[in-house]
Structure 1
Amino acid sequence: MSVRRAGAVALAMIIASAALGAPAQAAPSPPAVAAQSSGPSARAAELVAGMTTAEQAASVIMGHIPTTDPAALSAYMAQGFGGFILMGANVPAEAADLRTVTAALAVDPSLPPLIAIDQEGGIVSRLSADAYPASTVLKSQPASATAAAFAARASLVAQAGISVNFGTIADVPADPSSFIYGRALGTDPQSSAERVAAATTAQEQFLASTLKHFPGHGAAPGDSHHAIPSTDESLEQWRATDAVPFAAGIEAGASLLMFGHLAYTAVDAAPASLSARWHEIAREDLGFEGVIVTDDLGMLLSSGIPEYQDPVADAVAALAAGSDLVLMIAGSTPDTAGQMAAGIAAAVGSGSLPADRLADAATRVLALRLSLTAASADWALCPTCERAS
């Protein structure tokens, strides 16, 4: 993860200036900061070692309930969930009220959960104050424009008390009829990679950025909100095309990688989100060391495929395959996340989910939470990021 404190405001000044058409100036080098990558991970491992299986199980769940009521949100998060995703029903009209919502989610202010949002800008946008350029404009502009827009966007998100943005589309859809086409940052691997890297570097100064939807919707026709899109594209073809933006984003320091519910049948018949092979490719071939999060497991329920109709079983399968954080939105109730946690703990007890796999997932999630907690301060503010027209 990029160091978010040093030089963040200086970077924002440069790229915001570029977004507004001002002459670009050389960015000053941020102060040298000693590597701290082992600190949060080591501390996380210590904390996880002292947790019960039930506590570990809850810590790898990112849940959701559709309310802005602070008491209800605090009671929900008191169950120990590792994260919460804000959807439209969680976002009040006033910025101050949104801060009240995010504060209520942090039941332990010394170790807040991962608070996430889908703030891509444009087509997918939860915050009405975000008037910065989005993909439909950025894909025809230089990568510097993407950096400027996403720095300003990330600052806006961070000021609301949100620590994770599920905001970087790394898919490469060539077909304009694809559901993801209007949200993509490019229409070919190289142009997409340049903008994905720019968006990632810019966001990581303010919050934890996320690449989605691995291994990429570009080759797989269909909408994963309603089905399991599939392609027979080979692994070699994937490496030369759809993999390129993901590799660029990983190299740029993305904190999270979201796995999609789509299948590359020549690699594995299972959806990537439930595929051990695709998790291995992400870790070993692309060298991703951060948190792997599933796309909304509720989408699997919407696919209508019988074997994916149990969200608890889906969560266990995703963790067993290598995911670290399981996300559940569509079709969930206030009880769903708790049921998933109980099911995950039971799977460890039965041996169907190895205890060390759960501990590894919990450690990665907790390490990210610790890193974000240590980095949260006034650096998140970006007074120079003016609203772009």
Structure 2
Amino acid sequence: MLRVLTVALVVTALVSPPAAGQPPRPQAVTSLLAGMTLEQKVGQLFVTYVNGQRADEEHPDNVRDFGVATPAEIVAKYRPGGVIYFDNDLHDNIDSPRQIAGLSRGLQRASKIPLAISTDQEMGLVTRIGPPVTQFPGNMALGAGRSTTDAEQAATITARELRALGVNQDFAPDADVNSNPANPVIGVRSYSGDPKLAAEFTAAQVRGYQQRFLTWSGVAATAKHFPGHGDTATDSHTSLPVVDRTVEQWREMDAPPFRAAIAAGVDSIMTAHILMPRIDPSGEPATLSKPVIDLLRGELGYDGVVITDALDMAGVRQKHPDARIPVLALKAGVDQLLMPPKLGEAITAVVDAVKSGELTERRIDQSVLRVLRMKFLRGILTSPPVDPDKADAAVGTPENLAAARTITDRTTTAVRNDGGVLPRRPKAALVTGWGENSTRTLAKLLGGKALPTGATPTPEQITGAVEAAGAADLVVVLTSGLSGSPEQQALVDRLVATGRPVVGVAVRNPYDVAYTSVPVWLATYSYGAGALESVAKVITGEIGPKGLLPVAVPGPTPYPLGHGLTW
């Protein structure tokens, strides 16, 4: 920790206040860089996962993946520039606020240069840290609310709570324009299908996450996934999507949110593992494509940190061995390398590429300076260690929860209300359809009965729901991916045929609302508890729906961007 304090004092002394809106010059961290070996420099360019919830926790998967037992030993051995937290079965790092803060503190103690500790806290569909951390609407819900003030406030509160847990970089916001309704991986993670609207909200959330220069309460924001993942029809986690746009089409549709993020001073931009053959015919994914990265560095004039999407994803592993991919990414112009499958082999490959002359040490220095500059800007090099004893009180405060409720209440969109079915206060509501937790939560809010039928309801489940509808004065059916699910369609049709008033609620992508048989449609863009509380208020008339569609909905009954009803 004495080394960390010394580094912080040296860097602080070297930096003069920047001109308005300008980052410090790279010379502000050159003395730190000058004292680093090649291996230490290369380590700064990698962001790795770790296994376990405590820095000193021995975990067999760490031995398998890294040759050491604990997260702290991984940091000490490989000296990475950053660590990413997950809440999944593979790399479970998340339990409680106090635990997360303790993990962060332990990892920072193990690192000679303070770490960029990151997670994917987009809110909505991609949210790594759940309650008691304040939960805000995801991007498309915010786009429906049409308030950039709300979007900025949500990001500001999220950043402050993350920082209280020792997380100082958020891989958000998603700056993709969801121009393909069939997109399987973006969808509601996007603000809108309209480039202008997506750009306005991207800039607002960048401002909220980062707050202002030289603040310890903000986090480094990361606009993703450059050059734009919104027109893909496959998932880059499992395949290599192809986007058949020209440069001119890219400038018009995908570039505006990234331009807006850069104008707002975004600290980092994440690449996409997608092919753009009309921009780079080489067959390399954008992450490894110099022509694509040159659009970012040259045409958009971005000199901040460029980070890859995870290097263990199938989309980037089609053509090259895993150890070769980090070298090619650096040659293309990337700075940070996220989650290589084998960290030790990846570091060695980059070091060897420098020693062989394929990469120059000057090229490595360029990326290390960007990483260190980002760390300085967010106070990562100079902030005191996070205090686990204060973590619980810093998250999910009454004020933050009230802000989340208010913002969420402005996002529910009423698309259709034939016959004026809503609002009404049902005495015997039936809530059925997609999502066991979601149906039960909404049924409880409405004081009714829950009968979940899942994503592919069986004939027996459909018959049971139809029979239960006979005793209901309002039937609410939740849907997700309706156009691709004949089973859900059969459930909806059978419920409408009962003659009972039926309300469809699209709890993920809003494209479900084009389905014609349902007389009343609401879109929530989320199946989270907050979204369901708001939709219950809309159904009963406690609040009026205020959201407007942030995408155009094609289909049998199309709806334009901006459509929305109220009462």
Equivalent residue letter for 1:289: D
Say whether the 8 Å CA contact 1:226–1:303 is kept in structure 2.
Answer: no
Partner Cα separation in structure 1 for residue 255 and residue 277 of structure 2 = 16
Cα contact 2:40–2:79 (8 A) shared by 1:
yes
1:214 touches 1:258 (CA, 8 Å); kept in 2?
yes
Deviations 1:39-66 (A, max 9, x none): 5721422322332221111111111122
Residue by residue over 1:116-160, the C-alpha shift from the partner in whole angstroms, topping out at 9 and shown as x without a partner, is: 100000110011123222224212112222112111111111111
Instruction: Indicate whether 1:131 and 2:135 are aligned.
Output: yes
Distance apart, 1:38 and its partner CA: 6.6
Where does 1:9-158 land on structure 2 (aligned, <5 Å)? Answer: 34-35=18-19, 39=24, 41-71=26-56, 72-78=70-76, 79-88=78-87, 89-107=91-109, 111-128=113-130, 129-141=133-145, 142-158=147-163
Which amino acid is the alignment partner of residue 264 of structure 2?
A: A
The counterpart of 2:171, out of the listed 139, 150, 166, is 166
The whole-number CA distance in structure 2 between the counterparts of 1:352 and 1:93 is 43
Q: Distance in 2 between matches of 1:227 and 1:323?
A: 21
Give me the whole-angstrom Cα distance separating, in 1, the residues matched to 2:361 and 2:279: 27
Q: Report the equivalent of 2:346.
A: 340
Q: Indicate conservation of the 8 Å contact 2:86/2:94, yes or no.
A: no
Q: Structure 1 residues 109, 346: closer, same or farther in 2, change over 3 A? A: closer
SS in 1 for 2:127: coil
* 2:230 equivalent to 1:218: yes
Instruction: State which of 204, 209, 213 in structure 2 corresponds to 1:198.
Output: 204
Partner of 2:114, secondary structure, is coil
Q: Distance in 2 between matches of 1:40 and 1:85?
A: 27
- Residue pairs, 1:280-359, within 5 angstroms: 280-300=294-314, 305=318, 307-308=319-320, 310-328=321-339, 332=341, 336-359=342-365
2-structure distance, mates of 1:244, 1:284 = 15
Distance in 1 of aligned mates of 2:23 and 2:186: 37
Native 8 Å contact 1:132 1:152 kept in 2: no
- Check the 8 A contact 1:211/1:257 in 2, yes or no: yes
Q: Does the Cα contact within 8 Å between 1:91 and 1:127 map onto a contact in 2?
A: no
Q: 2:253 aligns with which of 241, 245, 258?
A: 241
Structure 2 stretches lacking a partner, 5+ long: 1-16, 57-69, 212-217, 406-567
* Number of the residue aligned with 1:19: none
Q: How far apart are the structure 2 equivalents of 1:168 and 1:143? A: 13
> Which residue of 364, 370, 373 maps to 2:380?
373
- Deviation of 1:374 (Å): 5.3
For 2:241 and 2:260, the matched residues in 1 are separated by 24
Hey, what's the Cα distance between the residues in 1 that align with 2:221 and 2:339?
19
TM-score for both structures, normalised by structure 2: 0.58
**2:409 alignment partner in structure 1:** none
Asked if 1 retains the 8 angstrom alpha-carbon contact of 2:180 and 2:232, the reply is: no
Secondary structure in 1 matching 2:109: coil
Q: Is the 8 A contact 2:41 2:365 kept in 1?
A: yes
Give the SS at the match of 2:262: helix
Aligned partner letter, 1:74: A
Q: Deviations over 1:161-181 (max 9, x none)?
A: 111000101111122321201
| Contact 2:285 2:316 (8 Å CA) reproduced | no
Larger radius of gyration: 2
CA contact (8 A) 1:102 1:162 kept: yes
Separation of aligned partners in 2, 1:250 and 1:177: 28
C-alpha separation between the residues in 2 aligned to 1:218 and 1:171? 5
Structure 1 residues 253 and 34, CA gap change in structure 2 (3 angstroms)? closer
Q: TM-score normalized by structure 1?
A: 0.84
How many residues align structurally?
348
How many Å separate the matches in 1 of 2:311 and 2:47?
11
Rounded to whole Å, the distance in 1 between the matches of 2:136 and 2:245 is: 35
Q: Alignment identity in percent? A: 29
Query: Hey, what does 1:14 align to over in structure 2?
Result: none
- Using CA pairs under 8 Å that are at least 6 residues apart, name the structure with larger relative contact order, 1 or 2: 1
CA separation of 1:171 and 1:151: change in aligned 2, threshold 3 A: same
**Cα contact 1:90–1:101 (8 A) shared by 2:** no
Matching residue within 278, 284, 307 for 1:266 = 278
Gaps of 5+ in 1: 1-32
Over the aligned positions, Cα root-mean-square deviation in angstroms equals: 2.3
Secondary structure of residue in 2 paired with 1:287: coil
Taking the aligned partners of 2:332 and 2:148, their CA distance within structure 1 comes to: 34
Match of 2:289 among 275, 280, 299: 275
CA contact (8 A) 1:69 1:101 kept: yes
- Check conservation: 2:232, 2:243, Cα contact below 8 A: yes
Shift of 1:34: 4.8
- Determine the C-alpha separation between the residues in 1 that align with 2:292 and 2:350: 21
Q: Deviations over 1:278-308 (max 9, x none)?
A: 22111121111210000001114x6662x23
Contact 2:79 2:111 survives alignment (8 Å):
no
